Amino acid sequence: MDLIPAPSSAVRRPDENFPLGATTTLTAPPGLADAERWLRGTLSAATGLPLGPGRPGTGIELVLDGTLAAEAYRITVRPGHALLAAGGPAGALWAAQTLRQLLGPDAYRRSPLRREGWVLPGADIADAPRFGWRGALLDVARHFLPKSDVLRFVDLLAAHKLNVLHLHLTDDQGWRVEIKRYPRLTGRGAWRERSMVGYRSGQRRDDRPHGGYYTQDDLREIVAYAAARGVTVVPEIDLPGHTQAAVAAYPELGNTDVVDTAALGVWTDWGVSHHVLNASEETLRFFEGVLEEVLELFPSEFIHLGGDECPKEQWKDSAAAQARIRELGLANEDELQSHLIRHFDRWLAERGRRLIGWDEILGGGLAPGAAVSSWRGFGGGVAAAEAGHDVVMCPEQHVYLDHRQADGPDEPVPVGFVRTLEDVYRFEPVPAQLDAAAARHVIGTQANLWSEFADSARDVDYRAFPRLVAFAEVAWSELPAEPAERDYPDFERRLRGHLEVLDALGVEYRPMDGPHPWQRRPGVAGRPIEGPPPVR
C-alpha cells in the first residue's frame, strides 16, 4: 500500500478484501458526525454508492477509541467490514482520508467514472502524526485569491493531512479582511493600481489594477469549511511593518510628521515598504478594534501578528515617535517595536488567545504563551525553544514554496533559493542542537507560499505541488531524523503513483521532469530576475 503520507504501520491482508456495493453502509457515533458527513459525501459522489446508515460491525464503521491520541487512528479492513477507530474527531477525519486513498485515484473525482469494482484492500493500519501543527501559509495579500480557490486549497491540505492554513491577509500591497468599523481598509486598502513583474526598481509593471477582499461571511464560511475537514485557519494581521495598505486607507495611522500619508496609495512594489504604523495610543486602539472583529471570525488559539521586517527610518525621523520612546522609557526604535508587540501579546492573552509572530518578535521579550514562526533559518526557533516558547519551524532556506524548483531558464520567475522536491523531503524541522526539553517546544512545521509571482490558483498549484506532498510526509510521518537516511527513492516511487490523485483533483502541479510549456512563460517571466530574493 503506497500511502502518502506514510503511516506508522501498514500490513496488507490480500485475502481479506472488502468489495463495496449498493448495500454497503456507513455508520458513526454523533461525536464523529463531521467525518461521517465528509466521507459519505465524498465517496458517494465518486462511486455513485449511497452508503446509507447501517448497524455496528458491518459496512464502513467509524468509532471512538479512548486509548488513542486525538489525531491517531487505526483502520482494519476485512470482508464486509472496515473499522475506523479514532482517538477523536480529527483522527476520524484522517482515517477517512486514508480510506479514500485506499480506493485509488478515481475516489478523488466528483462524479463516478464507474459504479462497480470498488474494493477496499484488506489491511491493518495504525497511524498518528509526528507534529500537532502541520501548516501551509497562503499569501492572499500580494495576490488575492477568490474564496472558491481558498476552499479548494483547504481540500488539498486536508487530503494530505495538513491541519493548519496560515492565511496572510494583510500587507503593504493589499488588505483582504472586511473590518466593519473601518470600512476604508477594504474600500481603499484592498486595491492597488498595478503590480511589479520582477523585483528591480523600475521593473516592468503589468498596469492592471489588482485587488479584492473577503467579507466577514466569506471568512466564516472558510473557517467552518476548514474545521469540518480538520483544518484550523490561523489569520495573520501584520504590524507594525507591512502596513502601507492600512496607512493608505487611514492616513492617521502613519508617521504624519515625516511624510504626507494622505497622498499615499496601496504599494505597487514588492519587498518591504518604509511606511509603517506610528506608535500612538490611538493606533493601538485602532488595531484593538481590528482584532476584536478578527477574533470573532477566527476561533483559532493562535493569532499571527507578523512583527517582522519593520523599517525604523520614519520612527528615527519622527518627533512624535521619539517623544513616544522617551515617554515609555525605551532605549531606541527597536524597543518601540517590541513595545507594540508586547502590548498585543498581553491583549490577546487577556482574551484567551496566543500571539504568534515571525522570529523578529523575540527581540523585546515575549509573554510565556507567545509562539514564534522561525523563518530566517533555524536560529530564531532555537532561541525561542530554549527560552521556553513554542515554535513552528518554517525556514526560508528549506520550505518557501514560492522559491524555484530547479535552476534552469525554463522555471517561471526564478525566485530565491533553488529547493527541489528532494530538498523538501530531506528537511528536518527539529534542530539537532536542541535537548529533549527544548525540542518539545517545536510544536510543528509549516511550508510558506508567498504570492508575488502567484497570481492565480494555477500558479499556486505549480509552486506548491508536488513539493507540498513531500512536506506533508515530513510533517506527519516518523522519518529518520538524519536527512541522509531518508528513503527518498521510495518516496519518489510512491509519489509517481500519487500524481494520479493530483490529476483527479485537477491540480496543475509541476511535472517531475520539468515545467509544462505554459509554465515556462518565455520572454518575460522566464527571464532571470536581477536583485534580491523575495522577503518573507
Active site residues: 171, 242, 309
Query: What are the beta bridge partners of residue 533?
Result: none
What number of CA atoms fall less than 13 Å from residue 485's CA on the CB side? 6
- Report residue 362 as a C-alpha cell: 523575540
φ, ψ of residue 530 in degrees (nearest 5): -80, 160
φ, ψ of residue 484 in degrees (nearest 5): -65, -20
CB atoms within 10 A of CB 423: 18
Residue 64: C-alpha distances to residues 38, 94, 95, 283 (Å): 17, 13, 12, 48
| Contact yes or no for 129/75 (Cβ under 8 A) | no
Query: What are the beta bridge partners of residue 78?
Result: 81
Residue among 373, 300, 307, 377 at smallest CA distance from 338: 307
Residues 370 and 391: their CA atoms lie apart, in Å, by: 9
Q: Are strands 123-127 and 302-306 parallel, antiparallel or unpaired?
A: unpaired
Residues 253 and 175: their CA atoms lie apart, in Å, by: 14
What secondary structure does DSSP assign to 178-211, as a single string?
--TT-THHHHTTTEES--BSSSSTTPPB----EE
Query: What are the beta bridge partners of residue 63?
Result: 85
Residue 51: C-alpha distances to residues 18, 22, 247 (Å): 14, 7, 54
Q: How far apart are the first and last CA of the chain?
A: 38
For cell 502518502, what's the residue?
4
Residue 83: C-alpha distances to residues 19, 28, 29, 406, 476 (Å): 14, 10, 13, 43, 22
**Amino acid making up residue 42:** T
Query: What are the beta bridge partners of residue 214?
Result: 177
| Contact yes or no for 145/450 (Cβ under 8 A) | no
Residue among 357, 456, 448 at smallest CA distance from 403: 448
Residue among 85, 204, 228 at smallest CA distance from 151: 228
Residues 472 and 446: their CA atoms lie apart, in Å, by: 9
Residue among 346, 197, 340, 199 at smallest CA distance from 281: 340
Residues 326 and 330: their CA atoms lie apart, in Å, by: 6
488-505 vs 147-159: helix axis angle to the nearest 10?
140
Sign of CA dihedral 236, 358, 240, 273: negative
